[in-house]
Structure 1
Amino acid sequence: MHLERVLCRNFRNFEELMIDLNPNLNIFLGANGQGKTNFLESIYLMATANSHRSSITSEMISWDQEKALVQLLLRRREGKIKLAMRLEKSGRQVEINDNPLDKVKELLGYLNAVLFSPEDLKLIKEGPSHRRDFIDLEISQVSRYYNHLLNKYDHILKQRNNLLKSIRDGKSADREMLSVWDEQIAAVGSKIILKRIEVIDKLKILARLSQRKITEGRENLELEYDISLNNFSKKLGEAELRELFIDSLIAKRDQEISRGYTVIGPHRDDIILKVNEMDLRKYGSQGQQRTAALALKLAELEFMKSETGEYPVLLLDDVFSELDGLRRKALINIIADKIQTIITATDGENLSGLKNNSYNVYQVKNGRIKRG
C-alpha cells in the first residue's frame, strides 16, 4: 500500500496543504517547529484513529479556526481508497470514499502505518502502559474485532471499579454483583490475553532476527508476556483461562475492595524485553535500548506484511540523527524500494546512502510545504 496524496485544512499550523507523495521515499526537511511532525501526525491519525501527540481534538485544529480536515488518497492492492476525518471541537467524523462511518474507530485497518520517533525509547525505558499500548495498537491495526474487545473490556473494567469503590466506601453492599462483573471481565479479558500472546510469539521471532542483523549477531532480543494472573500456563485454552481469571479475582477480592480497583487482568500486564538474558529496561545501555526499539519497529513492519499481504507506510520522525551508522545502515537496508517511507529531518546530513532511484524531497517552513 502507499499514500498518493495528503490534504490538510486548518490542521495544526497548516492552513491549506495538498501534497502528492512518491510511492517509495519522501524526505521532509525543515527547522524545528515548522510543521514536519504535524504532517506525520495527520497521516498517523488516519491510520490509528488517534494522534500520538494529543487526545484532545481541539489541539489539532488551527487556533483561530472551528474546524479542520485531513483527507488521504490511499492505494491498496484492491484499488484506491479516500479517507477523510473532519475535526470539530465537539468531536470527529470519519468517511471512507465519501461515506460517513458511525464510529471513528471504524477507520482502523484501511491505512496501516508504523511510526518511529525518538519518543519510542519510552517503549523500552518507561512503565508497562507504553508496552501494552504498543501491542494493542499493533493488533488493532490488523483486527477491528480486537479493538472492539479492548473497548468492551474498558467499559466492564470501569463498571467493576465503580462497584469496588462503592463497596469500599459503604455506598453499596452488593458484593454478589461482583460475581457478575467477574464473569464478564474474565470472558473478554481472556480473549485479549490469548491474542496478545499469539501476536507476541510472532513478533519476538521477527524482533530477534532484526536485533541480530543490526548487531551483526552479537545480541539476542527476547520478548516475554508478563501476565498478572497466578498459575498461568500457555497450555491453557480460552475456557480454562477464563476460569483461572475468575479464581484469581476471587482470591484478590479483599485486596480489590480495600483499594477500590481491579488489580489483575490485561490492563495490568506487561511485556518483558531481554537482551542476552538481561532485563533491557533495568540494565540495558542506551545503545542497546535504541537498538531494541528499532528492532521492534522493524518487526512491526514484517508482522503487518504477514497479516495483510502489504507493507504498511513507514513514518520516521527525525530518527536518523539519533541513530549511529550501524543502526542507520540496518534501517536503510530494510526500507530499500519496498516500503513507502516518509522521513522528517532538520537537514539531509544524516541521510546519505538513503536516496534511491525514486524519491521526493520537500522543504517545510511556517506551515507550508514545497517540493524541491
Structure 2
Amino acid sequence: MYLKQFTVQNYRNLQELKIDFAPNVNIFIGKNAQGKTNLLEAIYFLALTRSHRTSSDKELIAFGKDFANLTGQVQKSQVELDLRILLTKKGKKVWLNRIEQAKLSKYVGQLNAILFSPEDLDLIKGAPALRRKFMDQEFGQINAEYLYFASKYHQVLAQKNNYLRQIVRGEAHDLVFLDVLSDQLAGIAAEIIVRRFKYLNYLSRYAGKAYAQISSESEKLTLEYQPSIADIQLTDNTEQIYQKVLANFKQNRPVEIKKGTTLSGPHRDDLAFMLDGKNAHLYGSQGQQRTIALSVKLAEIQLVHQLTDEYPLLLLDDVMSELDHSRQSALLNYIHGKTQTFITTTDLAGISWEIIKAPRVYRIQSGNISLEKGEANG
C-alpha cells in the first residue's frame, strides 16, 4: 500500500498543504521546528486516528483555528481508498470512501503505518508504560478486535478505579457492584492478554531473524510478555486467563480498596527483550539496545504484511542520524522495494545514498513544503 496524495489543513503549523508522494522513498529536509515531525505525525494520525506525541487531539488544531482536516488517497493492491479525518474542539469524525464511520474501529486498519523515531530507541531501556503503549498502538492497528478491547478495558478500568476511590472516601459501600466491575474487567483483560501473547509470539520470531541479520553479535533475541499476574501462561486459553485474572482481583480486593486503584491487569503488564535469556533492559549495551529497537521495527513491518498481505508505510522521523552506517544500511536494504518510506532529516549528508534509488526530496520551512530540485531527485 502507499499514500498517493495527502492534504492537510490547520494541523499544528501546517496550514494548507496538498502533496503527491512517490510510492517508494520521500525525504523531507529542514531545520528543527519547521514542521517535519508535524507532517509525519499527520500521516500517522490519518492512519491510526491518534498522535504518537500527545493524547490531546485539541493540541493538533492550529492556533486560532476551529478545526483541522486531513485527507488521503491510498492505493492498495486491490483497491483505492479515500480517507478523511476532521478534528474540532468537540472531537473527531472519520470518513472512509466519503462515508462517515460511526466507529473508529471500522476506519483504523485501512492504512497501516509504522513510526520509528529517536524516542523508540528508549523502548528497551525506558519505563514499562512505553512498552504497553507500543503494544496497544501496533496491535490495535492490525486487529480491530484488539483495538476495541483495549479501548473498552480503559473505560471499565477508569470506572472501577473511580468506584474504588469512592469507597476510600466513604461515598460508596456496595461491594457487589465492585465485584461486577471486576468481573467485566477480567473478561476484557483476558481478550487483550491472549492477543498480546499471540502477536508477540509472531513479533519475537521476526525480530529474532532481523537481529541475526543486522547484528554482528551472536546472541539470540526473543520477546517475552510479562503479565502482572504471575501464573498466567502463554498456553492458557481465554477462559483460563479470565479465571486467573478474576481470582487475582478477588485476592487483591482488600488492598485495592485500601489503595483506591486496580493493582494488576494489562495496564500493569510489561514486555521484555531478551538476549540469550538476559533482559536487555538491564544488561544490554547501548549498541545492543539500538539494534533491538531497529529489529523490532523491521519485525513490525513483517507482522503487518503477514496479517494484512500489505506492507505498511514506514515513517522515519529524524532517526537516520541516530543510526550508524551499518544499521542504516541494514534498515534501507530491508525495506528496499517493499514499503513506501518517509524520512525526515536536517540534511542529506548522513544518508546512505548507495541504497536509496531516486527518492523524491522536499524542503520544509515554516510549515510550507516545496519540491527540492537537484541530484538527490535522480
Normalising by structure 1, we get a TM-score of 0.96
**CA displacement, residues 319-369 of structure 1 (integer Å, 9 cap, x when unaligned):** 111001221111011121221101111111111335544421111112111
2:304 counterpart of 1:316: no
Instruction: Report the 3-state secondary structure (helix = DSSP H, G, I; strand = E; otherwise coil) of the residue aligned with 2:261.
Output: coil
2:347 matched to which residue of 1? 347
Alpha-carbon distance in 2 for matches of 1:77, 1:29: 30
Counterpart position of 1:203: 203
Show the counterpart of 1:282.
Answer: 282
How well do the aligned residues superpose, as a CA RMSD in angstroms?
1.5
Aligned partner of 2:300 in structure 1 is: 300
Q: Cα 1:369–1:287, aligned 2, differ >3 Å: closer, same or farther?
A: same
Output aligned runs, 1:104-123, within 5 Å: 104-123=104-123
1:39 corresponds in structure 2 to: 39
Q: Could you tell me which amino acid in structure 2 is paired with residue 17 of structure 1?
A: L
**1:180 paired to 2:180:** yes
Report the more deviating stretch, 107-116 or 208-217. Answer: 208-217
State the SS of the aligned residue for 1:261. Answer: coil
Displacement of 1:148 in angstroms is 0.9
Cα distance in 2 for partners of 1:11, 1:234 equals 42
Q: What SS does the corresponding residue of 1:141 show, helix, strand or coil?
A: helix
| Maintained 8 Å contact 1:9/1:68 | yes
Paired residue for 1:368?
Answer: 368
Partner of 1:269: 269
Q: Distance in 1 between matches of 2:360 and 2:193?
A: 42
When residues 281 and 230 of structure 1 are mapped into structure 2, their CA distance, relative to the original with a 3 A threshold, is: closer
Which one-letter code corresponds to 2:107 in the other structure? L
TM-score w.r.t. length of structure 2: 0.95
Post-superposition Cα deviations, 1:129-160, rounded to whole Å, max 9, x if no partner, equal: 11111111111111111111112111221222
Partner residue, 1:62: 62
**Structure 2 CA distance for partners of 1:356 and 1:235, relative to 1, 3 Å:** closer
Q: Classify the secondary structure of the residue corresponding to 2:263.
A: coil
Paired residues of 2:117 and 2:317 also in contact (CA < 8 A): yes
Give the Cα–Cα distance (whole angstroms) in 1 for the partners of residues 97 and 224 of structure 2.
41
Q: CA deviation at 1:297?
A: 0.5
Q: Distance in 2 between matches of 1:295 and 1:24?
A: 21
Contact kept in structure 1, 2:69 and 2:84, CA below 8 Å = yes
Shift of residue 26, structure 1, vs aligned partner: 0.8
Q: Are 2:82 and 1:82 aligned?
A: yes
- Counterpart contact for 2:320–2:351, Cα < 8 Å: yes
**What secondary structure is seen at the aligned counterpart in 2 of 1:351?**
coil
Structure 2 residue 277 is the aligned partner of structure 1 residue 259: no
Q: Name structure 1 gaps, 5 residues minimum.
A: none
Answer yes or no: is the 8 Å Cα contact 1:153–1:189 preserved in 2. yes
Contact residue 49 and residue 105 of structure 1 kept, 8 A: no
> Match of 2:14?
14
Letter aligned with residue 80 of structure 1:
E
What letter matches 1:201 in structure 2? N
Verify the 8 A CA contact 2:332 2:355 in the aligned structure 1. Answer: no
When residues 338 and 358 of structure 1 are mapped into structure 2, their CA distance, relative to the original with a 3 A threshold, is farther
Give the conservation status (yes or no) of the 8 Å contact 1:71–1:85. Answer: yes
The worse-fitting range, judged by mean Cα deviation, of 64-73 and 97-106 is 97-106
Tell me by how many angstroms 1:10 deviates: 1.6
Stretch deviating more after TM superposition (230-239 or 327-336): 230-239
1:215 aligns with 2:215: yes
Q: Which residue of 2 aligns with 1:4?
A: 4
- Cα distance between partner residues in 1 of 2:104 and 2:188: 22
Stretch moving more, 36-45 or 146-155: 146-155
Q: Contact 2:24/2:340 (CA < 8 Å) preserved in 1? A: yes
What residue is the counterpart of 2:100 in the other structure? Answer: 100
Please, which runs of 5 or more residues in structure 2 have no aligned partner? 373-378
Instruction: Kindly state the Cα deviation for residue 12 of structure 1 after the two structures are TM-superposed.
Output: 1.5
- Inter-CA distance 52–86: structure 2 relative to 1 (3 Å threshold): same
The sequence identity of aligned pairs, in percent, is 39
Instruction: Give, in angstroms, the shift of residue 237 of structure 1.
Output: 1.9
Q: Contact 1:230 / 1:248 at 8 angstroms: preserved in 2?
A: no
Are the aligned partners of 2:50 and 2:57 in contact in 1 as well (CA < 8 Å)?
no
Tell me if the contact between 2:71 and 2:83 (Cα under 8 Å) persists in the aligned partners.
yes
The answer for the alignment partner of 1:225 in structure 2 is 225
Q: 2: CA distance between counterparts of 1:14 and 1:162? A: 39
- Asked if structure 1 preserves the Cα contact closer than 8 Å seen for 2:49 and 2:85, the reply is no
